[in-house]
Amino acid sequence: MPLWTGVVGCPMGEAGFVDAWLRAQVSSIVSYIDKTVLSLRAASPHALWAAIYYSCSAKFDFILRHLPPDKTVSHARVVDAALTRAAEACGYEGVLGDAITARRARLPARMRGLGLRSLEEVAPAAFCACFVEAAERFLDRSTPGGGRERGFFQMLAPLFGHGAFELPYPNSPRLSRFLSGCTTNVNPLGAQLGQLTPTGESFKKAWEGMQREVRGEGVAGPLDVRAPEAGNGRAGSAGLQRQLTQQREQVKRNQLSRSILGLPHGDTRREAWLAVDSFS
């Protein structure tokens, strides 16, 4: 049985309950995408693309931010497949069928792509950013005027350490204590001493997975630091998911460019890539 029917619009409970809830959400999203295609394909492919880009593609984003990737990626693939079918309905079936064209389609327009991001690839950045931005508000902290701002989960102080986010790392520990395993008997999240909580395990796995993506590519960004330092030093208003996405997508763009430039001269994918200029 579920432990709870939902928190901020997302499920909390046994794995089977969460998976069933996600399947229902995905079914509704895919149905919405398919109905959008049926309604607009014949009338206006341009209107269909606008609906895909501005509406359909964002339907799963909230869930990706609030549930760990190991719970969402299999469902994200289903939505990705529906979005690909919808995008191909604007042209012809199979237009995104080869790997290079599909990789290009997932890049933003400023990087010569379609902006049809893969939700499976978005998942780790969405979850990690949401967790860091929430954790920074868990505990009481000082304000610039010398006052105190109350955290909304001060009872988690034993898990993170008092003042965990007061100052930039290493002057404050940020996620170091949380990701080093429980070091106190006062553990509100139920992990054993010396073990990570399930959330800690999911966060660490997702962060380190993204680090492997960008390692050795020479693109600077938030993934340059270890998981315990995640989000360190950025302005309070700077969205971490945006920064993570910029770093990861620049790496993907560079890798794709190398793949395309390695194609034979005369390959239409190579010619199309090189033909893009400031007027495109």
* Whether 196 contacts 68, CB under 8 Å: no
**Residue carrying the six token digits 């042209």:** 91
Helices and strands, number each (H, E), in the chain = 10, 4
Q: Omega into 69 within 30° of 0, i.e. cis?
A: no
pLDDT of the residue at 196: 86
* Whether 180 contacts 188, CB under 8 Å: no
Share of the chain above pLDDT 70, in %: 91
Report pTM.
Answer: 0.90
Phi, psi (deg, nearest 5) at residue 77: -60, -35
Domain ranges of the chain: 4-97, 128-252
pLDDT in tens, 74-112: 999 999 999 999 999 999 889 999 999 999 999 999 999
Residue 157's closest CA among 137, 138, 172?
138
Helix (H) or strand (E) holding 216: none
Q: Whole-angstrom distance between the N-terminal and C-terminal Cα of the chain?
A: 54
How does residue 213 score in pLDDT terms, banded at 50, 70 and 90? very high
